[in-house]
Structure 1
C-alpha cells in the first residue's frame, strides 16, 4: 500500500514522508539523475519553509542552496535508510542555522533585521555602515567588494548607497521594491563586514 502524507503536516513537509520522495531518494543514491532532480524539487520547498520559520529578516536563498548542495554531496556516503535521509537533511539545515546565530552573536555589529538599516547615510551621526560607505573609505570599500562575492544586484545597491542615495531612491532607479533594496543592502553589508573581519 502506498505511503500517504500525514494530514496534520503542511504540504511541503508532508511531501517528504511519501513514497514519491522515498523513491526519489533511493534512485538518487543509485545515481539516477532524474530521481535526483525529483528529490531536490521535493526537498527545496520544505527546507525553505523550515529555514524561514527559524530565521526572520534573513535572506535564505544561499542557505537553502547550501543545504541542498551538502545533502547531494552526502548521498554517496549516507548509510541510513531512505526514510532517515529526510531527518539527515533537516539536521544539515539546523546546523547551518545554529552557525548563523553563533556568527551573529560573535559580531554585535551585524543587524538581524533589514528594517534596522537607515534609509539614507547620516553624515552627522554615522553608523558603521555609513562609515564603510563614506568617501574617505571608498578605496577600502572597493577592495572589500572585490573579495566579498557580492551579487550584481548587491553591487548596484552598495554603489548607489555610497553616492548618498536613499533606499527609496535606489528602489526607483532600479525599478525594484523598497523591501527588495533594503534586504539587498542588508545582505551586502553583512557580506562586507564578514570579509572585513576575515581580512583584519
Structure 2
C-alpha cells in the first residue's frame, strides 16, 4: 500500500483528495494536515510514502514545509507532490527547488493525480514538459548564479545531450527515439547524470540544467 499524507487547507479539496486516494486498491490516506507546520509534524510522525502538498497554506506555507521535509541536507528526504492552482508561478518553482518531486494543477483529472502519486512513490519524478519550458526555465534563468556552471564538467558530451533532452520534458522513451538508443541505455545515462550531479531526481536535474545555462528558457 502507498501511504499518503494530504496537506491542504481547503476542507472540500482535502476531502476530495482523501476520497480519491482511499478508493484506490493500492493507496491509503494515513493523515491530513491543514497548514504547513502540521504537515511537517504529521510527516515526521507518520512517515508516509508520498505527501500531497498545497503551496498556499496558513502558519507555514507549502514551500517551507517542503524545504523542511525534503530540502538540502535532509537525511531522508520525503517524496512530495505539489498540487497547486498556479501553472506558471514562482512559488511552484521554489517548491521544486526546495525538494518537491513534481507538481500537478488542482484542475487535473483524478486519474492524473492518482498516477502522480504512484509515479513519485516508485521513485520517479513528475514533470510536465510545459513546466520545464516555462516555469522552471523562466525562474531558473532569472535566479541563475554564475558559479554553478562548473558542476556540469563531470558529465560526458553524451550525458550532457541526455540532460538537455530531460530538460526539454522528454520521457526516457522519447529520448531513446530522439537519440537513436534504447530506453534501457537512456535509463543508465539518467542514473549516471543524477549520481554525478548529486541530485535526487529528474526535477532537480532539470532545475540545475536551467540554472547553469545548459538550456535556455523558451520565450
Shared fold (TM-score, shorter chain, > 0.5):
no
TM-score of the aligned structures, taking structure 2 as reference length: 0.29
Q: Larger Cα Rg: Structure 1 or Structure 2?
A: 1
Point out the structure with the larger helix share.
1
